[in-house]
Every structure is written in structure tokens, then in C-alpha cells.
Chains A and B, each alone.
Chain A
Amino acid sequence: MDLNKRLKVINIGLEGFIGAFRDTGTEYLNLNWRPPLVSPDLLKKIDLLRASEKVAKANNEAFKRLNDSEPVLIDVVQAKEAVEGMKDKTIFHAGPPVRWEDMCGPVKGAVMGACIYEGWARDLGEAESLCSSGKISFSPCHHHRAVGPMAGILSPSMYVWAVENRTYGNRAYCSLNEGLGKVLRFGANGADVISRLKWMENVLGPSLKKAVAASENGINISSITAQALQMGDECHNRNVAATGLLLKTLTQLLLKVIDDTELILELVRFIDSNPHFYLNLSMAACKSVTDAVFGLKHSTIVSAMARNGTEIGIRVAGCMDKWFTSPAGIPEGLFFPGFSQEDANPDLGDSTVSEVAGIGGFAMASAPAIVKFVGGSPRDAVECTLQMGQICHGKNTRYQIPQLNFAGTPTGIDITKVIETGITPFINTGIAHRKPGIGQVGAGILRAPMDCFIEALKYIKI
């Protein structure tokens, strides 16, 4: 062997040693090393998983599926007609399974609102006793190829986006976004909330259905997301550009299928007034992408990450439908006037399906505007994406970030990397009031807790 090549050094440990590298013009990188979070046994397990060809093959396949998936909007349809298991007196919610007694304030608020909206109860009192009676069947959206933002409440009459993964053939669903502030998904359930839901059921849903039906081959969602990432969105907490792009396409289709210009104007105004209108569609798309890795044997890639306001849960591709849960964290962020950190409900919603698919917090570098919103700087946004790159299997070839020289977004969270580096996924989120009936009080950022990843590692057999 020959030592006469120029040294390029990774320094692991004492930072003081880099002085010599600086003085001699030696290329180096200083590792941000921290003692491992887990016992030597579990570290050994990580090493064995890394060395396993089966695992490597499965993870390569998982990344390929996440990367190659092409979600296309094919329909807008009532939940009871399309979503598997959506029967009468059935309510789906965000996150891992949770019983009525254990639901947090905003989820309870949204559930009661849905009971009134469906006509199962006349008021909140009736709704509450109905839910306590055990006559409502609760189930996580994730168990039914669906997702929902925040409380993630889905009831039979609600319209959903139906997205097909063109590459792998599976479909996924998500409700339509109601707008900002006092809305069902943040736990609000007043008369205005219910009447808006009714309008969405009677006017918005059917109109969108017609519009999508008029499209030639559906609407390609991955291409809208890819464009939006280059326009300042990360497609989780910022959907301004994507909503605009979607609206461009929808407007043409609406003009094609509806003669009543007043109605079109009403629809366009509704969509235009809500910069997060695209979010739910993007989530359905992400769900169709991440479901493509569900149950992929031996893979250590995360297939789902979701919160119900009580717990956060992750699923790992190779561990089938098993949820690994930890108590949900409380997001820190900015609050609307009159509200503070004390009002914040623990982390909530299925919208982290975005990060699992490689956008959202993982594409933060694309959206410096929202880092500012939560008190950071554009530099923090880039660092966030670089950091997420350390826990992902690869870089997306479809979703690229101009600020990072068009590098792909980090895609495919590998639990072994999360545990080895001590870096947990960034989560961008809205903040709901902890009491039912109030709604959104702010927005913020938090990190997923490490415990659920460690639980998953313990569960995996090697």
C-alpha cells in the first residue's frame, strides 16, 4: 500500500486535531459525533442489519419504489363509495389507533363535529354520549389506505381525493382541505364549520369530481409537487405554489364542465383563499407512494409516521402493520394573537406522510419562507435538509432542490440511520388548541421522538 496520496481525513472525536489539517491545507470533515443512544447489543444489531444482503436489497427496493412512484389524481369521490371499511357510524382518524377515552381535545372536538355533520347527533352533548356509548366505530385512516391532516377525521359523507400510484397500481385517499383557522381538522365544530363541510359535500366535491373526470388522463401530482419544490414550497407547511399550479389546471377543467360562471367563481375563490388547499391532495399522493413499500420484508425503511395527538407512531416496511409508538411531543412555534405555548395540543396528524415520502421537512431547503415563519433562517432550512439526508436511504430523482444545486430530496427514512446518528425526523406542523372546539392556534416545528425508532429496532429479528 502507498501512503503518498493526499490525505483526506474524517476527524471523529476531539475537534482540536483539525488545527493541523487547516495549517497543512488538508481536506477534512469533522464528524459531529455523539455517544450512541442505544446499548452495544442494539448497535451490534444495526451493524448486522447493515451487513445483511437481504436488508440491503430490501432497502434498495424500498427506495426504488418511493422514488419511482408516480401518483396521479384520478377521482374525487365520497368516502363511503371508495374508502375500504367506511361504513355507517364509522369515523377514521389520524395517527396510530386510539380509543375515544384517550383521544386528545381537538380530535374529540372534530369527532363530535363529524357526528353532527353526518346527522348522527343534534348537538355536542348528543355527540359526546354517542361516542362514549361505543356505537361509533373508530379506526386510523392509515389502516384504510387513507390519511388525514391534523385530527384527520374522515366520515362517510365527506369527499376524498382519490390518487392512484401509476407505477405500482395502488390507490390512496385524503379528505378535501377546509381552509384555515376554525376548521374541523383543528378540533373546531361550530355551526360555520358544519355548514362549510356541507357545502364541500354538496358543491365542491361534486364539481371537482366532474372536473377531474374531464381531465384526459388524471392530474399528475408528482409533477406539480416537483415544480412547487422549485417555487418555494416544501408541500407540507407551504403549499402556496402547488395550490396555484393545481388551481390553474382545475380552472380549465371547471370551465370545461360547468356552465355556471358564478359557481366557478365561487369554487375558484374558495380554493384561492386557502394556501393549503393542495396539502390534502399531496398527502393522498404521498400515501399512495409510501404504501408501495408497506410490508416489504427485511426493509428497515419507515413506511408510515403519524400522530393522533396522544401518541406518535411509526411503521417500518419490514415490520408489516405493527405500530411503534411514543407519547406525542408538543410543537414549539408561533401562535396567533391571544394564544401561547400553553394552549398547544401535542403533535397531531397524518401529514408526516409527506416526510416519509421525502418532501415536507425533508425538503425544507426549498422553502426558506416557512423557516422564517417559525423563527429560523434560510440557512437553517438548508441545514435541516442536509441533516435529514443523513437518515435517509437516498436522494429523490424527481424532487429536486434548487438551493442545493438541484440535489434530490432525502428519501426513505432508515431507522438504523436514525438511531446511529441520533438524528430524528423534522416535523413541520400546524398547532391545534388542546381543548375541543377552538381550532388552530399556531404553527411550528418539532422532532420525532427517538423512542419509537428504538422500539422498532428492538422488534426487528435478524
Chain B
Amino acid sequence: MQISADLEKAEGMLSASLMMGTPANKDILRHSGLLTEKGETAAENDLIIALEADSEKALDGVLNTIDSRFEPSLRDEGNAGFYPASIDSALGALDANFALISVPGEYAARETAIALDRGLNVMIFSDNVSIDDEVNLKNRARLKDLLLMGPDCGTAIINGVPLGFANRVQRGDIGLVAASGSGLQEVTVNICKQGCGITHAIGTGGRDISKQVGAATLMKGIDILDEDGNTKVMVILSKPPHPEVLKKILKRLENVSKPVVACFLGSREKKKMKGVVFTDTLEEAAVAASCLSRGEKIVLPEFTVNGIEDLILRTKEKTEKSGKYIRGLYAGGTLCDEAIDILRKYGIMAYSNAGSEEKYKLSDPDKSREHSLIDMGDDTYTRGKPHPMIDLTARNKRIALEAKQDQVGAILFDIVLGYGANADPAQAMRGTLESIKGEKIMIASVCGTNRDIQDYSKQVKTLEDCGVIVLPTNAQAARFAARIIK
């Protein structure tokens, strides 16, 4: 009755009637001339919707209204939310097997202990967890045969599910364990660009490879991937571990049953071991793993862009007129490390707030000198402020500042896409980049895929519109910078 009354108010509607198909109701409809042939066939439990309108259009509009009226109207009011305030409450509603913890560090250890106690694998995104807590928690995880990633583990992909800051990459047969956040992102993304895919990307947190923690998670990750039937190739990724820890890792790698690619970024010593390919850069790690996955010989090209030598020559001419120094401003810490390493290979020593060489440590990361590569995701910049992957304001300001210096020839930077990152970072940089366009050479790489919410191709296009030279990988961007400055 209520619906009929409402329908009759609609424009072009002459009469409307909703009735069950009982004989008495059919009589009523018949007398008002509203019972069609089809209506005659209705049984007692059928609902007859009889409508008379002055046009087909009016009818269509009303039919949509009817549909919406038969939707459960209680959707907003009836579905009460359940807002669990503790892990135990949540477990009452979901038989979870994983906890992603990103509460402030001082509270993370307790939540982690509870989660492990309840048999959940855990990723701690939070930082500021004490190293004692980390050791204790990792011990607990080991005893319970659980995976504990972090603390300070920014990214992971487990069984196809991106956790924290992670990219959408395709599934495949390469498994990774990494003590480096942006490094793991760059390698998974590059594996994806090689047409290969991943099983799991396990993060450990940067402190895992310290002497105290003893690579507890990294070793667990190796065990998991070694046993995992879907993983055909294993990638190990970290900064150089503590020597004792490294020994332990290498010993374990000897017994791994599948091909391994190991990248201890920044490590100078050459290692050789049967069944393990050691690489110097993230890019090489991705390429090597992909070649192994495809069963091909490993080929590591300097560039993968057609006509690159031409471009280098043309760009070099421009820089000869401007300054001779590279200034790199990075959102990804490991990407910054990789770039420093690559520049070194070309004989360019860069100052940095990151990097392993004391001699080239910037005393004040706000003041660049000569060649400088700054990790803008370092604690000094993120204490109480959003990470440059999320909010690009601080880095934009710094880029504008560096571009004003006469002796600077090239601005080098990264953009990291994926969950958690800025929704459209290239757009957020547009103003800054356009103001530099034509003044300085701008070189960048974008760590991401076309399946990422920010869309890799769209980001590259925006950057190129702003006059940025975009290389396919962080390593190639650094090489390109080295070649044009050298």
C-alpha cells in the first residue's frame, strides 16, 4: 500500500497497484482495468505489480524505484558493526591466521606477544620496538613455528596479499626474504617487469641481520621458502649483515635445495658459492632470479632502453653547460643505497645521510655538498612527520632548493608506488618539476606496476610531461646520471 501510494506520485504515473494474486485481488484489478493477460496467470503467492502510465519512459523510471524498494531497506540501520577492541575479541569473529601490527612502537610488543600466543603469524610494521623485545618475540615465534616479520618491516607479500607498503605484482615461482623495505619493493616490481612472478616476499625488519637478533626471521624465511613447493627460486636481500650472522646465513644457503640469488647491498667482498648467485644491485637480483625462473642463462645489461647511448650523448651536452654535481633525493632508503653503490662503480663518490662509508657521511643532511644522495625517509625527516612516500611536500621543497644551486647538474629521484603510498605522487610533484624544467636535468625511476592503484604508466607519463627522464629501474636511473655527469 505504501509503495503504491508513493508510486502514484511519480511523474506520468496514472495508477499503480501492488497486490498478491488472490482471486479477490484479481477481481479488484480486473474492474479497474489493470489486470493484463499475464496478471491473470498470477497465483495466490505471486505479487502483481500493476502500473498505468502515460508513457513508456514514465514506466521505466517507476520500475527502477520498485526495484530499490524491494532491496533490504535495513542495509544501513540493520547491519550493526562489530568493532573488536582486542585481538581476543577479533578472534571471536574471525578465525584469523595473521596479524598486521602498526600501532605505536611502545605498544607493539604486547600486541605481538598476544598474537603469537594465539597462534598467528605476525608482521610488525611499527618501529621503536626495543631490540630486547625483538629478540624475545622472535624466540617465541621460533618456538611456536610462526613467522614474525619486523619490527620496522615496511613491506611484505604473503600468498598474494600485499601487506603494508607493497605493490601488486603477479604470482609466480620466485620467493624472497629481505631485510630491506624499498629494496624488496624494487626487486618484486622488477621481477614483475621481467614477466616473472613471486610466491611470497617475506620482510624481516632492518635489525634482523644484527648480531643480537642473529637473522632469526631471515633464517626462518629461508626455511619456509626452501620447503615451499611453489617456490623454485629464492632471493635473499639485505644490507651487509654482521659478519657472524653472514657466516650463519651462508652456511644455511649451502644446504638450500633450490637456486638462490643473494644481494648484500653495499658489500664489497666478492663471494662465490655453488648454487648461489651473488649480485651487487637490486636490479641484478631481479634479473638473475627471473633468468633462473625461466631456466635461462643470466644476462645483466647496463641498460634496457633502446637508443640509450644517443640519449646519454644528447643529455650530456646539456649538462656541460650547467653544473657537474648530482643531487639525489630518495623516498626509498635501499634505493638510495643502491644508487650510491652504482655511482661509486662509475668513480663518483656521493655524500649521504645513508650509505655505509663514514668518510662520505653528511654531518648535516639538510646541507648537500658536491654529489649528494639523501634518504628523505630517514628518521631525521620522518620523526612526527609523514614519510615522503606518503607526503611529498618536504621532498618537493628540497628538490626546488637543490635545483637553485649553480653547481648542480642533475636531480635524481625515485617514486615508490603501491599500497600505503601517495595516491598520485607524480601529480604531487608536478608544480616543483615544471618549475625546474629546462634548468636542470631530471632523472627518475618509478617503483611500481600497472596494477598498482597509482598506475605505473600514468605516473611515468606525468613525469615525462614535466621533462623528467624516466628509466625502467632505480639502478639504470643512477647509471644514467653517472654517465651524463662523468
- Write the residues of chain A forming the contact surface with B, with a CB cutoff of 8 angstroms: 1-14, 16-17, 19-21, 23-24, 26-29, 31-36, 43, 47, 365, 377-383, 386-387, 389-390, 417, 420-423
Contacts and interface: CB of A to CB of B under 8 A. Distances in A.
Query: Which applies to chain A's interface (DSSP): helix, strand, loop or mixed?
Result: mixed
B82 interface: yes
Contacts of B200: 3
26 contacts: A1-B147, A3-B158, A3-B228, A4-B230, A8-B95, A9-B98, A10-B91, A11-B100, A12-B102, A13-B101, A13-B102, A13-B125, A13-B126, A17-B163, A20-B163, A20-B166, A29-B84, A31-B87, A33-B103, A33-B111, A36-B107, A365-B80, A377-B77, A381-B80, A389-B92, A390-B86
Contact of B158 (A7, A28, A33): A7
Contact of B161 (A2, A7, A421): A7
A29 B96 contact: yes
B419 interface: yes
A10 B103 CA distance: 13
Which of B114, B146, B159 counts the most A-chain CB atoms under 10 A from its CB?
Answer: B159
A9 B125 CA distance: 14
Interface of B: 76-104, 107, 110-111, 113-115, 120-121, 125-126, 145-147, 158-164, 166, 168, 200, 224, 227-228, 230, 419-420, 453
Given A8-B98, A9-B96, A386 B82 contact: yes
Contacts of A377: 77
Nearest to B78: A379
B89 to A, nearest CB: 4
B98 to A, nearest CB: 5
Nearest to A365: B80
Contacts of A32: 83-85
Contacts of A13: 100-103, 125-126
B94 A29 contact: yes
B159 A16 contact: no
B100 A29 contact: no
B111 A378 contact: no
B230 to A, nearest CB: 7
A378 B76 CA distance: 11
Contacts of B102: 11-14, 17
Nearest to B91: A10
Contacts of A365: 80
B266 to A, nearest CB: 29
B85 A422 contact: yes
Given A3-B158, A10-B120, A423-B85, A29 B90 contact: yes
The 4 closest A-B pairs by CB, nearest first: A13-B102, A382-B80, A421-B85, A32-B83
B140 to A, nearest CB: 13
A7 B159 contact: yes
Given A1-B224, A12-B87, A35-B103, 6 more contacts: A2-B228, A8-B97, A8-B98, A10-B115, A17-B102, A383-B82
Contacts of B87: 10, 12, 31
Contacts of B89: 389-390, 421
Which of B96, B147, B420 counts the most A-chain CB atoms under 10 A from its CB?
Answer: B96
Given A3-B147, A10-B98, A420 B90 contact: no
A13 to B, nearest CB: 3
Contacts of A34: 85
Contact of B419 (A20, A378, A386, A387): A20
A9 B78 CA distance: 25
A289 B168 CA distance: 56
Contacts of A2: 224, 227-228
Which of B77, B100, B103 counts the most A-chain CB atoms under 10 A from its CB?
Answer: B100
Given A8-B96, A19-B453, A421-B86, A383 B159 contact: no
Contacts of A33: 85, 103, 111
